[in-house]
Structure 1
Amino acid sequence: MEISTGSSMSEKKIPEDRETVIEIEHLCKRFGENVVLNDFNLKVYRNENVVVLGKSGAGKSVLIKCVIGLLKPDSGTIRVLGKNVPELDHEDLDKIRTKIGFLFQGNALYDSMTVRENLEFSLRRQWIKLPQTEVDALVKEALGNVSLPHTADMMPAELSGGMLKRIALARTLILKPEIILYDEPTTGLDPVTAREIDNLIIALQKKYHTASIIISHDMNCVKNTADRVVLLLDGKCYAEGTYRELEEAADENIKQFFE
Structure 2
Amino acid sequence: MLKKPLSTVTWLCIFILVFVSHPVWPQKPPKRKTPGQLKAAACCEEVKELKAQIANLSSLLSELSKKQEKDWVSVVMQVMELESNTKRMESRLTEAEGKYSEMNNQIDIMQLQAAQTVTQTSADAIYDCSSLYQKNYRISGVYKLPPDDFLGSPELEVFCDMEMAGGGWTIIQRRKSGLVSFYRDWKQYKQGFGSIRGDFWLGNEHIHRLSRRPTRLRVEMEDWEGNVRYAEYSHFVLGKAEEDRREDRQGMSGKWLMRKVSMRE
Band the TM-score falls in, shorter-chain normalisation: under 0.3
TM-score, normalised to structure 2's length? Answer: 0.21
TM-score, normalised to structure 1's length? Answer: 0.21
Q: Whose relative contact order is higher, 1 or 2, with alpha carbons under 8 Å and at least 6 apart? A: 1
* Greater C-alpha radius of gyration: 2
More strand by share: 1
More helix by share: 2
